[in-house]
Amino acid sequence: MKVSRTFIPTLREVPADAVIVSHRLMFRAGLLRKLANGLFAYLPLGLRSLRKVEQIVREEMDNAGFLEIRPSVVIPGELWKESGRWDSMGGALLRFKNRLGADFVISPTAEEPFTALVRDELSSYRQLPLALYQINTKYRDEVRPRYGVMRGREFVMKDGYSFHTDDESLDNCYQDVGLAYRRIFKRCGLSVIPVKADSGAMGGSGSEEFMVESEVGDNTLLFCRESGSQKCDYAANVEKAECKADYTQCDSASTPPIEKIDTPEVKTIEELCAFLKTDAKVFIKTLIYRAVNVELEFNEIPGSEAFLTGKSSPGKAINEMYFAVCIRGDLDVNEIKLTARLKAAEVSLASEADVERLTRAPLGFAGPVGLNSIPVIADLTVTAINDGVTGALAKDLHFKHVAYGRDFRAWMVTDLRTVKAGDRCPHCGGELYEKKGNELGHIFKLGFKYSKSMNVSYLDENGKSQMPIMGCYGLGLDRTLASVIEEHHDDAGIIWPISIAPYHVIIVPIKYDGAVKAAADKLTAELEREGIEVLLDDRDERPGVKFNDADLIGIPYRVVIGDKNLAGASKKVEVKRRCEKESRLVELDKAAKELSDNILRDLAEMICQT
Q: Which is nearer to a second copy, 133 or 404 (CB)?
A: 133
Tell me the C-alpha distance between 208 and 440, whole Å.
11
Q: Taking the complex as a whole, how short is the minimal distance between the CB of residue 529 and a second copy, in angstroms? A: 18
Q: If binding is defined by CB under 8 A, does position 75 make contact with a second copy?
A: yes
Stretch of 96-104, 184-192, 225-233, 597-605 lying at the interface with a second copy (CB under 8 A): 96-104
Q: Please identify, among the stretches 113-121, 200-208, 268-276, 402-410, the one whose residues bind a second copy according to the rule CB under 8 A.
A: 113-121
Under rule CB under 8 A, residue 15 binds a second copy:
no
* Residue 113 interacting with a second copy (CB under 8 A): yes
Phi and psi (nearest 5°) for 535?
-110, 125
Q: Please, what is the minimum distance in Å from the beta carbon of residue 48 to a second copy?
A: 8
Sole binder of a second copy in the list 13, 16, 101, 120 (CB under 8 A): 120
116 binds a second copy (CB under 8 A): yes
- Asked if residue 72 binds a second copy (CB under 8 A), the reply is yes
168 vs 540 by CB, closer to a second copy: 540
Q: List CB contacts of 393: < 8 A, sequence separation 6 or more.
A: 359, 360, 361, 365, 366, 367, 369, 370, 371
End-to-end CA distance of the chain: 31
CA distance 282 to 403: 10
Strands 505-509 and 557-561: parallel
Alpha-carbon gap, residue 224 to 421, rounded angstroms: 9
Q: Which residue number, 121 or 582, has a Cβ lying nearer to a second copy?
A: 121
Q: Does 117 bind a second copy (CB under 8 A)?
A: yes
Residue 115: CB minimum distance to a second copy, A: 12
Q: What's the one-letter identity of residue 354? A: D
- Regarding 7 and contact with a second copy (CB under 8 A), the answer is yes
**Contact indicator for 469, 266 with CB cutoff of 8 Å:** no
- CB nearer to a second copy: pick between 75 and 506: 75
Q: Which is nearer to a second copy, 58 or 267 (CB)?
A: 58
Task: Provide the residue count of the chain.
Answer: 610
The one among 19, 33, 225, 533 contacting a second copy by CB under 8 A: 33
Beta-carbon neighbour count of residue 144 at 10 Å?
Answer: 7
Q: Does 59 bind a second copy (CB under 8 A)?
A: no
Q: How far apart are CA 575 and CA 507, in angstroms?
A: 9
Question: Within a 13 Å sphere around the CA of 330, how many CA atoms are in the beta-carbon half?
Answer: 14
Binding region for a second copy (CB under 8 A) out of 61-69, 183-191, 374-382, 465-473: 61-69
Residue from 14, 69, 179, 492 touching a second copy (CB under 8 A): that is 69
**Closer of 137 and 219 to a second copy (Cβ):** 137
Pairwise CA distance, residues 216 & 436, whole Å? 7
Cβ-Cβ contacts under 8 Å for 166 (sequence gap 6 or more) = 469
| CA–CA dist 34, 320 (Å, integer) | 43
Phi, psi (degrees; rounded to nearest 5) at 63:
-60, -30
Q: Residues in the site for a second copy, rule: CB under 8 A?
A: 5-7, 9, 33, 35-36, 39-44, 47, 50, 65, 67-76, 78-79, 91, 94, 96, 98-100, 102, 106, 113, 116-117, 120-121, 130, 132, 137, 139, 141, 143, 153-154
